[in-house]
Chain A
Amino acid sequence: MGGDAPHKYTGDLVNIERGRISREIFSARAVYDDELERIFPKSWLFIGHESQVPEPGDYILSRMAEESVIFNRDRRGKLHVMLNNCRHRGMRVCRADSGNARKFMCPFHAWTFSDEGALIGVPKLDTGYHNELDKSQWGLIEARVARYHGFVFACWDEETPDFETYLGDLRFYFDDYCELPDGTFGDWQAFGGIFKWKVPCNWKFGAENFAGDYYHNPSHASVDQVVLSPAGTKGRHTYDEVTRERELYKLNICVTPEGHTARGELFKDDYDYIPTYQDMAVVEDYFRECYTKRQERLGEKARWFGHGGTIFPNVSYSNGVQSMGTWHPSGPNETEIWRIFLAPKDAPVEVKNVLRHYVIRYQGPAGLTEQDDMENWGSAHLGAKGTIARRHDFHYGMGMGYEQKGWPVEWLGGEVHATEDVSEQNQRAYYARWAEMMDTPPDTRRHPVSVEAAE
Chain B
Amino acid sequence: MDQSPDKALMDQILVRYRVEQFYTMEAELLDGRQFEAWLDLLADDIRYWMPVTRNRNFGEWDGEHTNEGEDLNWFDEGKFELEQRVKQIMTGIHWAEEPVSRTTHMFSNLQVIDESADTLLTRVRFLIYRNRNETETDFFVGKRHDKLRRIGEGFEVAAREIYLDQSVLQAKNLTIFF
A binding-site residues for B, Cβ under 8 Å? 95-99, 191-200, 219, 221-223, 225-228, 336, 340-341, 353, 356-357, 360-361, 364-366, 368, 371-372, 374-376, 378
Nearest-CB residue, chain B, relative to A359:
B72
A356 partner, pick from B72, B91, B174, beta carbons under 8 A = B72
Q: Are A368 and B84 in contact (CB under 8 A)?
A: yes
Q: Taking the complex as formed, is B108 at the interface, i.e. its CB lies under 8 A from any CB of chain A? A: no
Across-interface contacts of A96 in B (CB, < 8 A)? 54-57, 60
Q: Are A98 and B63 in contact (CB under 8 A)?
A: yes
Chain B: number of interface residues, binned into ranges: 35 or more
In the A-B complex, list the 10 residue pairs whose CB atoms are closest, starting with the nearest. Answer: A192-B71, A197-B169, A193-B72, A371-B96, A193-B66, A222-B94, A366-B174, A193-B52, A222-B91, A226-B84
Nearest-CB residue, chain A, relative to B55:
A97
Pick 30 A–B contacts, CB within 8 A, sort by A: A97-B54, A99-B57, A191-B72, A192-B67, A192-B70, A192-B71, A193-B73, A195-B52, A196-B169, A197-B170, A197-B171, A198-B170, A222-B95, A225-B91, A226-B88, A227-B80, A228-B84, A340-B72, A341-B72, A356-B72, A356-B76, A357-B76, A357-B77, A365-B74, A365-B169, A365-B171, A366-B50, A368-B88, A375-B96, A375-B173
Q: Are A374 and B173 in contact (CB under 8 A)?
A: yes
Q: Taking the complex as formed, is B21 at the interface, i.e. its CB lies under 8 A from any CB of chain A? A: no
Across-interface contacts of A226 in B (CB, < 8 A)? 84, 87-88, 91
* Separation of A432 and B81 alpha carbons in the complex (Å): 42
* Separation of A227 and B77 alpha carbons in the complex (Å): 13
B43-61 vs A, CB cutoff 8 Å, 1 = contact: the mask equals 0000000111011110010
Segment 95-137 of B: residues with Cβ below 8 Å from A:
95-97
Q: Are B169 and A374 in contact (CB under 8 A)?
A: no
CB distance from A328 to the nearest CB of B (A): 10
Q: Are A222 and B88 in contact (CB under 8 A)?
A: yes
Q: Are B93 and A222 in contact (CB under 8 A)?
A: yes
Across-interface contacts of B97 in A (CB, < 8 A)? 371
Question: What 12 new A-B contacts, CB under 8 Å, besides A361-B84, A372-B94, A372-B96?
Answer: A96-B55, A97-B167, A193-B52, A193-B66, A194-B52, A197-B170, A197-B171, A353-B69, A357-B77, A361-B77, A368-B88, A371-B174
Across-interface contacts of B77 in A (CB, < 8 A)? 357, 361
CB distance from B118 to the nearest CB of A (A): 28
Across-interface contacts of A366 in B (CB, < 8 A)? 50, 74-75, 173-174
Across-interface contacts of A374 in B (CB, < 8 A)? 96, 172-173
Q: Are B96 and A194 in contact (CB under 8 A)?
A: no
* Separation of A192 and B54 alpha carbons in the complex (Å): 11
* Separation of A228 and B88 alpha carbons in the complex (Å): 11
Q: Are B174 and A365 in contact (CB under 8 A)?
A: yes
CB distance from B46 to the nearest CB of A (A): 15
CB distance from A194 to the nearest CB of B (A): 7
- Take A96-B57, A375-B96 as given contacts and tell me if A196 and B168 are in contact as well, using a CB distance cutoff of 8 Å: yes
A98 partner, pick from B56, B70, B72, beta carbons under 8 A = B56
Across-interface contacts of B50 in A (CB, < 8 A)? 366
Nearest-CB residue, chain A, relative to B83:
A226
B172 partner, pick from A195, A199, A222, beta carbons under 8 A = A199
- Take A192-B70, A200-B172, A222-B88 as given contacts and tell me if A360 and B76 are in contact as well, using a CB distance cutoff of 8 Å: yes
Q: Are A225 and B87 in contact (CB under 8 A)?
A: yes
Q: Are A221 and B91 in contact (CB under 8 A)?
A: yes
